[in-house]
Structure formats: C-alpha cells, structure tokens
Amino acid sequence: MRSWFPEREFFMRSQGQVRFIRISSKLQMSVAGAVAGAVLLWIGVLAWALVANIVAVGSNASLLEREAAVASAESRVAKYRGGLDGITAELEKRQDFIEKSVEGSIGALPGDLPKGTVSDSSGEAAKTVQKISQVLPEAAGLARIEAKQLAFIERLTRYADMRSARAETAIRRVGLNPAMVAAADRSAQGGPLIPLFSRGESLDPRFARLGASLARMAAMEQGLARIPNTLPASLEYISSGFGTRADPFTGGAAFHAGLDFRGPVGAPIHAAAAGTITFTGVRQGYGNCVEISHGNGLLTRYAHMSRIGARLGQAVKPGDTIGAIGNTGRSTGPHLHFEVRINDRPVNPRPFLESMPHVFEEARAGRPAGNAG
C-alpha cells in the first residue's frame, strides 16, 4: 500500500518566499480510505432501496392475488348459502352462452338431424327432472339444466355425424377410400401423457361419444380439403387429356399421365388442394416442376413452369399461387401439365376437377350431395 501512496512534497511560492508541504503516506491512505468508504456506502444504500422496492412490489402482487382468490371463493360460498335459485339462474345463463358460442362457430344446428346415430335421452331426462322435483324441490332447476345440457350434447353429436357422413360420401364419389383419405397421421406427434380424468373417475358415455364424433368430422373434412378440388389455372382449354394419345414429338402411341392446360407464359398456376410442397426443381421431361403432397399417398404435380413460386416444405391452401405457366422441359408450347398421383400411380385428374368443386361446397354447407355438374 505504501508503494501506491509514497510521501509527497509540494512547494508553494508566495511573495518571494517558498514553502514546502509534506503529505505523508499515512495521510494519503486515510483520505483514500474515507473516499472509498463513502462510495461503497452510497452503492449499498442504492442496492438496499432497489431490493426493498422489488420485495414490496412482489409482496403487493402476491397479496392482491390472495385477496382476489379469497374474494372469489367467498363470493361463491355466499351465493351457495343464499340458495340454489341464484346458482341455477347463473348456470342457465352459462349453458345458453355455451350453446350460442358453439352454434356461432359451426352455424345453427339444423332441426332435421339424423336420429339413429346416438341415443335420445330426452324422455328419460324428463322423468329424472320430475322425480327430483318431487323428492328434492330445491334442486329441480339444476336437474333441468343437466337435462338441457345432455340434450344439446346429443344434438351436437348428431350434427357431427351428419357432416362426417356427407364428407365421406363426397370422398367416395371421386373413387377414393374415406378411411385412407381421413386416416390420422401420428408420425410426428408426442408429449407427456396428461389424462383428463383421475383413476377411478368415469366420463359420461355421451360426452365420450361427442368427442369421437367431432374427431371423425374433423378428420373427414380435413381429408376432403386435401383432395384436388380447385382448377390449377384459369386457362383457355385442355389441350391434351389423360390416357393414350399420339406423342407430340414422335407421333407414335404413348401414355399421357395428366392433363395439359394451354395458356400464356407467365399465367399463374394454383394449388389444386391443401398440402405441403415436397419438390421444387427440374425433372426430366417435366422441366421446372412443383409437387404437392396431400397426405396418405395423394400427390399433385405441376410441370413445364416458367417460374417456380413455392418453396420446399411450404404449406399451401387450395388456390394458392405456386408458379407460372411456361414451356420448359419436353414441351411443344406454353402450357401446364397437371397430374394427380395416388401412391405414385397416375390417375385421371378430370373427375376430381369436374366433381369436387360442387361436392366440396355441398358437403361443407351441410346439404345432401347431388349429382355433379
């Protein structure tokens, strides 16, 4: 420490006289120590104030949360002590809200729902309400709400079954197997098991039935959305059909695996259905090409593009622009070559493009599927 603070001498000249001032090492160390102590004390005071503020804010937030929880619990206890009438009225409002919310998201439930897909417990529920009203009059309101809830669950189940059946009919009309089209893909799913009910608890079978019906409806309609249902381009006409034809280069008999749509260079090409881009690039004979996988072995291919407007792995919806008409590859003029493949086997795209727009709209609108135009 003495090497940091050696003795120092200063001289001052005043009126022709010179004075020497000597500052010892001990005095220098004392002054430096006092300054350092003052700085540390100031930092300590600031740190203490900051910590105290944080603790106060946390304690206040925790207190507010506890007060809110106590207030909520006390208010509910007060309502229950006040009698079942108030609770019944509140639950009725909640049930009405649930029904309106569900119908607002899926549309009003039609009145002519199929009867055979799920049980009708309205008669038994009416007997239950009557019996409870006689034995425990104060619980009659709750019994009526339960009956209303079960009736709504059964109606919603029938509605889901109806939409599943119409989607299944639409899928069959284009020659596909609904079970394959709507098969659930579990190849990329996971997570911890979190049961909805504890061991020993049971779920009312009507609620379990509703869950199964909603899941089937979602699978069928998602499968329907992945079937080609949109024209891949707004073009003049089909210049070459699917099947045997005279090869445009050699003139000999050849098999044509898709449909050719004539159109100007640069005209947009659209995804025919929802899916994922699984190939972008050049294929021999096809030129610039895009392929979309729609799941369960269903694939569409778009060839001879002048420009590719999609990227690998991109999710697309029906009608999304994925490129532009061109004349690349083995082509005699600007056009789109469009293929539909199932398990890498080409099938005729015409039935999909002619039937699916009408079938798809009818199935989603909840109308019976009629003959395609």
Residue 26 confidence (pLDDT)? 73
Concatenate the DSSP letters of all residues of 169-195 into one string: HHHHHTT--HHHHT----TT-------
Q: How many CB atoms lie within 10 A of CB 112?
A: 6
- Whole-number Cα distances in Å, 343 to 176, 293, 314, 322, 346: 12, 11, 21, 22, 8
Q: Which residues of the chain have pLDDT under 70?
A: 1-5, 8-23, 28, 57-84, 87, 101, 103-112, 114-116, 182-204, 235-236, 355-373
**What is the dihedral sign for C-alpha 220, 221, 222, 228?**
positive
Q: Fill in the DSSP letter of residue 109.
A: P
Q: Which helix (H) or strand (E) segment is 301 a member of?
A: strand 298-308
Residue 169 tokens, joined: 């009919």
Render pLDDT for 306-341 as a digit per residue (tens, 0 to 9): 999 999 999 999 999 999 999 999 999 999 999 999
Q: How many Cα atoms within 13 Å fall on the side-chain side of residue 49?
A: 6
Residue 78 confidence (pLDDT)? 59
pTM, rounded to two decimals = 0.58
**336 bridge partner residues:** 261
Render pLDDT for 171-227 as a digit per residue (tens, 0 to 9): 887 777 887 776 655 555 556 655 555 555 556 677 778 888 888 888 888 888 788
Sequence-separated (6 or more) residues with CB below 8 Å from residue 56: none
Q: Fill in the DSSP letter of residue 355.
A: H
Residue 370 confidence (pLDDT)? 36
Residue 371 confidence (pLDDT)? 32
Residue 175 confidence (pLDDT)? 76
Residue 282 confidence (pLDDT)? 96
Residue 232 confidence (pLDDT)? 92
Residue 373 confidence (pLDDT)? 26
d(CA 125, CA 146): 8
Render pLDDT for 171-184 as a digit per residue (tens, 0 to 9): 887 777 887 776 65
Residue 49 confidence (pLDDT)? 76
Residue 369 confidence (pLDDT)? 38
Residue 306 confidence (pLDDT)? 96
